Amino acid sequence: MNGLVDEFGRALLDLQHRSTGNEDHLEITVWIDTAFNGELVVPRAMIERLGLEQSAGIRASLADGNEVTLESYTCFWDWFGDLRAVEVIANNGQMPLLGIGLLMGHRLVVDYTDLFVSLE
């Protein structure tokens, strides 16, 4: 899977959402966030557009030390050719974040010289 480094230095990849293995897909661009230990954070507006239903509320510790309860959703993403159930956390941000929960077991290379991202 290949991506790019944008003008702000963000490592970006495109992911494909699927409701089932046979439906059309929706592609979204995600920002790789190695400080996030979950799988995926998605803005609420995008969750509504995807038609996801909340599956749980989970407790989380934020970088500032605050404890919060976050809305969690389960949906399916094309992950290296396989349909994978992914836990999605809702937020009020503008861009989806991909965390280390999906990076584990893969090799991530971010090349700031050629502005290229590779995930194997």
* φ, ψ (nearest 5 deg) of residue 33: -125, 95
The pLDDT value recorded for residue 59 is: 85
Average pLDDT of span 66-80: 88
Q: What are the residues whose beta carbons fall under 8 Å from the beta carbon of 27, sequence distance 6 or more? A: 14, 15, 16, 17
What are the residue ranges spanned by the domains of the chain? 2-119
The pLDDT value recorded for residue 20 is: 52
Distance CA 88, CA 104 (A): 16
Condensed to tens digits (0 to 9), the pLDDT of residues 6-29 reads 999 999 999 887 655 455 567 889
pLDDT band at 96 (very low <50, low <70, confident <90, very high): very high
The pLDDT value recorded for residue 19 is: 58
As a whole-number percent, the residues of the chain with pLDDT over 70 amount to: 93
Token pair, residue 94, equals 């503008």
Angstrom CA distances, 112 to 34, 108, 109, 115, stand at 16, 13, 10, 5
CATH code that applies to domain 2-119: 2.40.70.10
Q: Considering the chain, what is the average pLDDT of its residues?
A: 88
The pLDDT value recorded for residue 18 is: 67
Condensed to tens digits (0 to 9), the pLDDT of residues 99-116 reads 999 999 999 999 999 999
Could you say which DSSP state residue 102 is in? H
User: What is the pTM (predicted TM-score) of this model?
Assistant: 0.85
User: 33-69 burial string, b = 16+ CB within 10 Å, else e?
Assistant: beebebbbbbbeebbeeeebeeeeeeeeeeeeeeeee
Distance CA 119, CA 117 (A): 7
As a whole-number percent, the residues of the chain with pLDDT over 90 amount to: 51
